[in-house]
Structures are given as structure tokens and as C-alpha cells.
Amino acid sequence: MNRINKTLNGDKKLLSIYFTAGYPKLEDTVKIIKDLETSGVDFIEIGLPFSDPLADGPTIQESSTQALKNGMTTNMLFNQLKDIRETVKIPLIIMGYFNPMLQYGVEKFCQKCQEAGIDGLIIPDLPVNVYNEEYKAIFEHYGIINIFLITPQTSEERIRFIDSVSDGFIYMVSSASVTGSTKGFGEDTKAYFKRISAMNLKNPQIIGFGINDKETFNQATEFATGAIIGSAFVKHLTASGTNKTSSFIKALRDL
Amino acid sequence: MTYQANEKGYYGDFGGAFIPEMLYPNVEELRSQYLDIMKEESFQKEFNYLLKEYVGRPTPLYFAERFSNKYKTKVYLKREDLCHTGAHKINNTVGQILMAKRLGKTRIIAETGAGQHGVATATVCALMGIECIVYMGEVDIKRQAPNVARMKMLGATVVPAKSGSRTLKDATNEAIRDWINNPVDTHYIIGSVVGPHPYPDMVARFQAVISEEIKIQLKEKENRENPDYVVACVGGGSNAAGAYFHYLDNPEVGIIAVEAAGKGIYTGESAATSALGKEGIIHGSKTLLMQTYDGQITEPYSISAGLDYPGVGPMHANLFRTGRGEFISITDEAAMQAGIELAKLEGIIPAIETSHALAIFKDRKFKEDDIVVVNLSGRGDKDLSTYIDYFNL
Ligand SMILES: Cc1ncc(COP(=O)(O)O)c(C=O)c1O
């Protein structure tokens, strides 16, 4: 069984953290992963930086631009992650845009993920139908779970369809927005969380986008198996560097 | 075999809709309705009325006698420069604003590079009394001050794109982000035959009026509907798509696409996508684009802001790959000389984008009785300061 499914089986409210690989410094990737694990994070999304991240707000864009300036590449990321499974046990997911994967070769990318012990991928601009028709067999061959997104605008029919082709979890985008908005959750958003929760989907849901503190984390996990924090952690790295990860995580949840 | 889009929005290997799920409802709403809406009689009536009375169509198909004599072939110029706002761009924005109204949208967003598409969008929004937000790279805002002022006069809000390289591709990213953030009330008017399906096909259909008119006009003048060649410059490729549209599947008509070589194809300062690009994904479309070996999209360069895009529309990627289109790239210098030449020979000052198409005649020879239609996509008013600086006028 894939590490993602194992982790989701427990009844703990899961905390996942996103960060951009190669940011703030090129060589920070492994340290950040290890510190996140020892701080009690349940799984990690490692951002493969892209020049034109359409679904991301300014925080993740800027960290991506900086990571690329630092010299991050697909090859470099796989080199950095080569020995990660000697120490790190929690699920690791790479989140990135499709073009760099396409240039690397989708099959080679999946193979490298398997070698490094990466459990899943989140590729916002690879649509479900293209994945099913062209890439599903490759992902399955290498045991890589592909995670799909839903939003408040996704129709019930399409949610059921995405659920039927998903494994691991469904990434529930909290609001109609790019990453990094900090509006907090209003009644509409909570109604959407409830609506999805009541659909009894086969896959658990993890909520992401707009979660930036303990309050929003708790609100989200009231309705879902877990929540993902991205921009807020990247901001923390920008402001406080890589030595204060555990205090950031501690402030997020009651242990 | 057809060179038009299939029902999934593919031109051969290229096209499709590689969009994040957040955009799916918006794009799907458009995709499922655009053909039906365009077929409605009331839509056609309103579209044709506005093209005639507001844009000033049909634009002339003008026989350029002195230019033809110089290059020893028969050259006709399709005068899109005479359209309201000075370029072909408005054919598309008129079509899309009518589409947006029928979809019940109350807010329009657009991206712009040089500002031509921004102005054309702001214009139709003023015409319809609809809110208009135009994203424009911070760098371009500085380079294209008169068009920024025009958009403001027309009531649009111009929002600087501050991410990445702060030019056209980043303005497009920002417009897409805006659409993600405003999925219900907003329509995104893309300015060329780029982006996810159905945009390339929809924009091509709105621009198709160009070749529809060429057929009728050429019949009147030459007693034949088909020229030997149609020539157009390609940034994203909308004026070219319109000029080729009704000839795509007619092998008797040669298709010539002209890209910007900038300072030279291999100087690192170029926008010659067919020569430098590789298959990949940009702005939701699988096409040819300029990128690093690692799949990061690179910044193109051309003296003309309208050709300064790192990709081409999927229709053109397919014309290139299949060999249906002949692709030529033209340097800044050759384009600028061709612009001045047309001004002196015909009394027409072309947009610098268009000057690229005119520049091919120096090296690309045609037969004396060939009929070559060049799509004169826009006028040079917006480029005066570039012409002035370049030639010390
Ligand atoms: C006059 C003119 N021609 C051509 C272009 C290039 O666009 P496209 O390739 O979509 O026609 C532009 C873009 O701004 C333009 O203003």
C-alpha cells in the first residue's frame, strides 16, 4: 500500500505543508523536509518551481522565481531527494506544472519519483481526461498516485467522476482563488465544505488554499481529513529562514 | 485531412485544454456553447452589423501597384489597418463581447502586450457599457504609454503585471489568475489564437471574416477566389489565422507565416518560435514554445511588441509541423526597412508587426503572375516613436 493511503487511514487530522524546492537557498530542500517531519507534519508537498505558475498567487510565484534563479532544475531536485528515504518516513508528494515534466519525459519523471520514494504528484494543469487517456498507465506502473483538485464551482457530477478515478485523496481547493489568499472562511465556504463532506466520497478530502493559521486549519479539518498550508509557510521561510520550522508548526495545532 | 481544429480543439498534435481544475467550469461553459451561440441568427446579425458600421468592414483589398512593380509580382494588401482602432484585433473583441453578453457576463478581463488588444477590448467594453480590466506587464506599460492612456480614456482599468518578466506572457498569467478568482461573472477576452480550447478556434472564427472578404474581393478583381499565396505575420497568430482560414484546406493556396527573428534567430534575442520552439504547454495549450531544456518558458525579444510572445497558436504549430505553412523569420532591421519602404512606395505606414510580413519580398521571390495577398494587420501610428528612434526621423 502506498504511504499516502496508509497515512490517510488513521483518524488524526492531517497537516500537510507545501514549500518550493530550492527556496530560500538551493540546498535548503532536504533540511526543510527533515525539519517538517520532526515537527510532526503528516505529509509534505515539494514544489517543483515553474516560470509561469498559473494557479499560484504572488508568494509561491516569487519563491519559484527565486528557486529557479538559485539554479533549481528537475534533475537537481531528484539529486537532492536521492537519499531522502534513508531518514524520512512520511508521504512525499511533488507538486508542479506539467510542462517541465513533459520536457523531462513523463515516464522518466515517474521512474525517478519511484526511485526517490516519492508517493504522489499534484499537477494542476494536467486535466483528468488527458491523464486518463495518456498517462494513467505510466503512473500506475511506477506506483505513483496522481492527486486531482476540486473547487466550489466543480459540479456534483464531475466531483463523482473525479472521485471514481482518484486514489489517495481529493485535493479540495477552499475557494475560487489562486494560492495565498487570506480572506478566512465565510459561510459560503463552510457550506461548500459541508456539502462535499456529505457526499460520502470514496476518497478522503484534504483542503488547501487559504489556510494560513490555526483557526483556518481547525475550521477546514472540521469537515475534512486534513489541510494543506502553502503560502503561509513560504512566507514564514522568507521572513524567518529555515531554522524556525518547528515553532511555525507548533503554533498551528494543539498537540 | 483538415487544418481546422477537431471537436476536442486539436490541430494535429497541438491544442487541447491544459487548464487547472479551477478554470474548468469557465472554459467548459464557453466550450459547450460557443459554436451554438455563433450560429444564432441574432448573433450573426449583431456581429455583422457592428463589423460593418462600427469597425468599418469590409476593409479594402488594395492592389499595391508600385510595390508590385518593385518586386515583380502581383501584391494585394488586405487593409486591416483601416479597421477602427487600427488593427485586426477588434474583429475578435467585437465577437467576444457579444459572446460574453450572451453568456450573461458582466465583467471583462484581457491581457495586452503592445496595448493594441487592450485598446480593442476597452473599446468594445465602452461600446457595451461593461466593466473592463486589462492586465499589462509593468515593462510594457512604460514602453507603450500612449496605448495605456487610450485604454484609460476608454474607461478601462489597467493593472500592471508585476510577476516574472513583467511582459505579455506574465500579463496573460495575471489575466488567467483573475479568471480563477472570478469564475462566475467574468469573461476573459484572449487577444490571439492562443490559450485553451475553445479559444484558438473561436478567435480564428471571429477573424475568419478577413479571408471571407478576400475571396469575394479577389473574385471581383481577378475573377478568381484563390490567391497563389497568403502572407501574414505571426505573434500568437490571430491575423494570420483569419487570413488563412478559408484557404487552410485548399492546397492551391500557399500559406506563408512570418515570425520575428529579432536581432537574428540564434542571437538569444528572437521571437522565432517555429525555429527555436519545442512542443510544450503554455497558457493551457499544447503548442510550440520557446523554453529551456528544463521546460521553463523563456522571454522572447522583438522590436515589435505584438510579436513578442514565446509561443504560437496551435493552428500554426500544426501548419509548421505538417509543412502546410512556409515559415520565414525576419529581423528587426529588415522589418523596419520594409515599413519605411511601404510608406514611400504606397503611402501606407504599417504597424511594425505587419512590416515583418512585407519584408519577405526581398529574398522570397514569386512568379510575375503570382497573386500574393499580404494581410496588412495594422497601422503604424502606435509605432511612431519606435520608427522615429530607429531612423532618427
Ligand atoms: C498590427 C498587429 N499585427 C499583428 C499582431 C500580432 O498578433 P497576432 O499574431 O495574433 O495577429 C499584433 C499584436 O498586437 C498587432 O497589433
Instruction: Give the number of domains in chain A.
Output: 1
Q: What percent of chain A is predicted at pLDDT more than 90?
A: 87
- B354 Cβ inside 6 Å of ligand 1: yes
The distance of A40 to chain B (nearest Cα, Å) reads 30
- Cβ–Cβ under 8 Å, residues B289 and B310: yes
Contacts of B297 in chain A (CB under 8 A): 51-52, 99
Show the beta-strand stretches assigned E in chain B.
Answer: 10-11, 14-15, 61-63, 74-79, 107-112, 131-137, 157-161, 186-189, 229-233, 254-262, 278-282, 285-289, 325-331, 371-376
Q: Give the nearest ligand 1 atom to B238 CA.
A: 10
Taking an 8 Å cut-off on Cβ atoms, the answer to whether A55 and B180 are in contact is: yes
Taking an 8 Å cut-off on Cβ atoms, the answer to whether A61 and B280 are in contact is: no
Whether residue A11 is predicted with pLDDT greater than 90 in this model: the reply is no
Residues A64-75: pLDDT tens digits? 999 999 999 999
Residues B280-323: pLDDT tens digits? 999 999 999 999 999 999 999 999 989 989 999 999 999 999 99
| Residue B118 to residue B174: CA distance in whole angstroms | 14
- B271 CA → ligand 1 middle, Å: 13
Instruction: Give the pLDDT score at B302.
Output: 93
Instruction: Give the pLDDT score at A253.
Output: 78
Taking an 8 Å cut-off on Cβ atoms, the answer to whether B182 and A176 are in contact is: yes
- Give the residue whose CA is nearest to atom 10 of ligand 1: B238
- B136 Cβ inside 6 Å of ligand 1: no
The distance of B360 to chain A (nearest Cα, Å) reads 33
Show the beta-strand stretches assigned E in B5-141.
Answer: 10-11, 14-15, 61-63, 74-79, 107-112, 131-137
Q: Is residue A46 part of a domain?
A: yes
Pairing of strands B74-79, B107-112: unpaired
Cell of B233: 505575420
Residue in B283, B273, B280, B113 with CA at minimum distance from that of residue B197: B283
Same fold, B11-51+89-198 and B56-86+208-391: yes
In chain A, the residue whose alpha carbon lies closest to the alpha carbon of B176 is A54
- B161 Cβ inside 6 Å of ligand 1: no
Q: Is residue A239 part of a domain?
A: yes
Instruction: Give the pLDDT score at A176.
Output: 76
Instruction: Give the pLDDT score at A182.
Output: 67
Taking an 8 Å cut-off on Cβ atoms, the answer to whether B177 and A124 are in contact is: no
| Residue B326 to residue B6: CA distance in whole angstroms | 22
Report the top-level CATH class of B11-51+89-198.
alpha beta
ipTM reported for the complex, 2 dp: 0.94
Whether residue A1 is predicted with pLDDT greater than 80 in this model: the reply is no
Q: Give the nearest ligand 1 atom to B194 CA.
A: 10
Residue in A79, A146, A141 with CA at minimum distance from that of residue A107: A141
- Cβ–Cβ under 8 Å, residues B140 and B168: yes
Range of the domain at A34: 3-149+224-252
Q: Is residue A135 part of a domain?
A: yes
Mean pLDDT over A21-44 rounds to 98
Which residues of chain B have a Cβ shorter than 8 Å from any chain A Cβ? 16-22, 24-25, 163-164, 169-170, 173, 176-177, 180-184, 278-284, 291, 293-298
Residue in B144, B92, B113 with CA at minimum distance from that of residue B283: B113
Instruction: Give the pLDDT score at A177.
Output: 77
- B116 CA → ligand 1 middle, Å: 8
Q: Is residue A163 part of a domain?
A: no
- B377 CA → ligand 1 middle, Å: 7
Q: Is residue A158 part of a domain?
A: no
- B206 CA → ligand 1 middle, Å: 15
Q: Is residue A123 part of a domain?
A: yes
Instruction: Give the pLDDT score at A186.
Output: 85
Instruction: Give the pLDDT score at A102.
Output: 98
Q: Give the nearest ligand 1 atom to B117 CA.
A: 14
- B114 Cβ inside 6 Å of ligand 1: yes
Instruction: Give the pLDDT score at B46.
Output: 98
Q: Is residue A183 part of a domain?
A: no
Burial of A190 (0-12, 13-18, 19+ CB in 10 A): middle
Q: How do the domains of chain B map onto residue ranges?
A: 11-51+89-198, 56-86+208-391
pLDDT band at A254 (very low <50, low <70, confident <90, very high): low
Q: Is residue A160 part of a domain?
A: no
Report the top-level CATH class of B56-86+208-391.
alpha beta
Burial of A134 (0-12, 13-18, 19+ CB in 10 A): exposed
Taking an 8 Å cut-off on Cβ atoms, the answer to whether A98 and B281 are in contact is: yes
Whether residue A255 is predicted with pLDDT greater than 60 in this model: the reply is no
CATH of the domain at A24: 3.20.20.70
- Residue B188 pairs with which residues in a beta bridge? B109
Which residue ranges of chain B lie beneath pLDDT 70? none
Mutate which of B82, B190, B193, B239 for ligand 1? The one with the most ligand atoms within 8 Å of its CB, which is B239
